[in-house]
Chains A and B, each alone.
Chain A
């Protein structure tokens, strides 16, 4: 007999070893997320994917699916919290979308659209953060890093390197790269690495490609992130 759980009252099947988000994606249900990507070990840090499991808040990207769980996902209070968490990510960094190369292709921006975020809500931090333009083909703009560690995991798990890491504590967290000089050009990254293409925001960009796709013709200019994500991620899970 297949095991099942319910999400917002809909019964869905799952396999042992799946997390709640994997079971949901396979069943065509979108749970908002940023640090999760089915290709890599889950991290559980952004907290956008928080769902209520039998009344308790859990991260859907790390919490195992279990028989008979009652999961609440698309609820007003949860989405309100998700919106605030997204706003936190915006005010913590410097995100000036209209002048950002990634605009329209950015998952942070797209999640914000999806959650109907209309302002920053919180006071902006305006942190002082640097650019690392040392590499021929790849740019790091620390202003837009949300510490999801996808680049860290992609480099380690897929590229077999350790180009990126998150260092520091608390609000002083920052992305560092693995070279004696601390510059990207002195690491062993290459533009074909998965890590160079995984960033959900505009923090890691491939140079010289910025406006090849014009604004207005980009992914989230036409589609909502839930559809885009379900299409690509359920493909991966197969």
Chain B
């Protein structure tokens, strides 16, 4: 257990965030999370800036090991950051104690990929959903019962589901149970780590629609983690693309996904198979695999796999710079590699 706990010197408690009218619900600044692996430090999250505004849906996308789950778990303070700052609802929670986090945990909830693993198999569904209410001592027994019945209805489960065990439900229904539990308290921010990746396509759409309906009715903010760019495009207002613990591109989901400026985002888009024989997408096949965060490359993290890298890219690391359309990309040559070449009449061959 010790070997995998984040290390590093906690920074000074910083000044409280200024209370302003349109401040984000959640703000991460220069967030770093370093795991200790043997004698070495593994920077799983590296200088990440991220905001989520009330009612907004922000997506996190990137390959396995890029730090998506670590970032999410740090934001809910399951991990303590090595450095940087997390401000939630006007309160600096970077190093807040468990006691100080209690009210935060009432309104910041998480849903996981695997509904099998995240639900206690021996508990009735009613008990599972009531758990956060009991833990925070909210309401009388009768009120809790009524609240659970309402939540079951909200997530589209039959009223008699409460008495049954998780094993009696399909994967999609189990995900509905975990969503109901996450909504039991006055949730303002729901962090969903790959909420539909374990589900069949026809069921995925049911859960995505459910999440969208809940958001419309309650004005929640979502931070959605997915490796499927099409899903991110469908669900999110903004998206941050992670590579080796760093944000390489960030901006409005529609711009970033359909017209990527960072070559890694372009490659991700090109690599997403679509069931459309006429899509005319550019083929970009990257060589090799993401390097280990234990042994990151020099210069730009992406340069060993980048089809447009120049010698310069191995020496200097590009800043996450703002582009004219308001998005940000960490590349010296943004927009040079596109995944939509044939659509605008250009043609490229990068293999």
Q: Are A and B co-members of a single complex? A: no
Which chain A residues have a beta carbon within 8 Å of chain B's beta carbons?
none
Which chain B residues have a beta carbon within 8 Å of chain A's beta carbons?
none
